[in-house]
Amino acid sequence: MVAHHASSGSFVSKPELYYGGAWHAPINGKTFETINPATGAVIGRVAEGDADDVAAAVSAAREGFAAWRAVPPTERAAVLREIARVIRANVDRLSEIEAADSGNPITKVRADVMQGAQRFDFFAGLITEMKGDTIPGREGTLTLTQREPRGVVARIVAFNHPFMFTSSRMAAPLAAGNACIVKPPEQAPLSGVLFAELVGGLLPAGAFSVLTGGREVGEALSAHQDIAMVGLVGSVPTGKAVMRSAADTLKPVLLELGGKNALIAFPDAEPERVAEALADGMNFTWCGQSCGSTSRAFLHADIHDAVLEKLAEKIAVYKPGLPTDPQTTMGALINRAQYERVMAYIDGAKAEGAKLFLGGRHPSEPELADGCFIEPTVFTSVTSDMRIAREEIFGPVLSVFDWQDEASLLSQVNGLDYGLTCSIWTNDLARAHRVAAAVEAGYVWVNDVSKHFPGAPFGGYKQSGLGREESLSELLEFTQEKTIHINFSGKR
């Protein structure tokens, strides 16, 4: 449970785990501190769960599943809509705690909180779409299918949008009638704990659980024989680890993983619009900590210099600042380890011969001295063999390439194991269709970037993930199909 003391700006948390409709001290008695990445200050203590806590939570969730799956679909939808209402009613409280815990700017965090509410409304409206089919057969028989919930499912979520992922990624499994255990990110868990406090009582005991902790919790959830499915938002290495843990029980996985996404600008694109898209697509507000960030910019030689002339102006609106200040347009990286990792990539890019066009430093403002801040950073003269061109940095670093030959361009764009998003800029309709079909990515924008649309399936190709979310596809992922054959003819 979480309380806020506005006068001091500190948060005091009761370090317990939520499962079985109640709060429980961790069996091992361990807790850990959560740190404000903008100041380095400790803002709370959180329960550090382990495999024993997972076992207890799963046992309770099995009972919760039996109760929740029996709730008629329209009544489940009403509960999901009530959860959405509670989220909206507490947007200020949730946003304040998340901004301090994650380093994300509070104005954008508010949008994340509202996105979580919207996702519950969205899946509440899809509940009756879990439909089966009838299959033609001989006279006197009926063959049909129906969709049923899988059971107890686990959702492990990333640190870049802690509340949005913690909340929104449980909407589909709950809509389908599953019990859901959520593991918030250990780097920013407080909004997930508060979420359990706000909405846990709206569901049958055990139907919803929040388990905080580190890797051991995720591994135990992935391997537990009574967890029917695992969904992860995280890195490629974590996705592989989840798959390995899930393999022994042959449980399905739903993985939204990393990206090294391309923005492709053709010579007929307007340079100013492309510059705006480069700044927007990098998600500098979130310090580039987004799997969908278009961190590789391929600018045709004819417009390369013109785009760069506009780029500094477009990026200037993203200025690092304290996340709890409503005027802040760019927050802090999640922790010191991530800060050092990004700075190492910046130093490595210089050593490999990339040209630093913009940023690359810690901001100079005294109030930001102790935080994990890095200016928006742009490198030019990048080649495909450089680390910044091939590896997901998950920081505010944009790599710019110039190109002339389309076949060579597509070879570079598709030459990585990632395939999450791609943004294409051209006014030639035929070219837009041709290139959209050629790029190996699961989500493609043409003359747009970064936006998600309710109902549009989101997910990646290759090592960027398995399955699709944010759509009917996600709801159906959390069901299993049963075939029923009925012979009422009296004949065989």
Catalytic machinery residues: 256, 291
- DSSP for 209-241 reads EE---SHHHHHHHHH-TT--EEEEES-HHHHHH
Q: Are 95 and 109 in contact (CB under 8 A)?
A: yes
Give the orientation angle of helix 162-175 with respect to helix 91-102, to 10 degrees.
120
At 421, is the secondary structure helix, strand, or coil? strand
Helix spans in 319-418 (H):
336-352, 387-390, 406-413
Q: Are 222 and 254 in contact (CB under 8 A)?
A: no
Tokens of 403: 């190109």
Sheet of strand 262-265: strand arrangement? 355-358, 377-380, 397-403, 296-300, 262-265, 421-425, 443-446
Q: Are 298 and 342 in contact (CB under 8 A)?
A: no
Give the orientation angle of helix 190-199 with respect to helix 73-89, to 10 degrees.
120
Distance CA 416, CA 261 (A): 10
Give the per-residue SS3 of 142-182. Answer: EEEEEEEECCEEEEECCCCCHHHHHHHHHHHHHHCCCEEEE
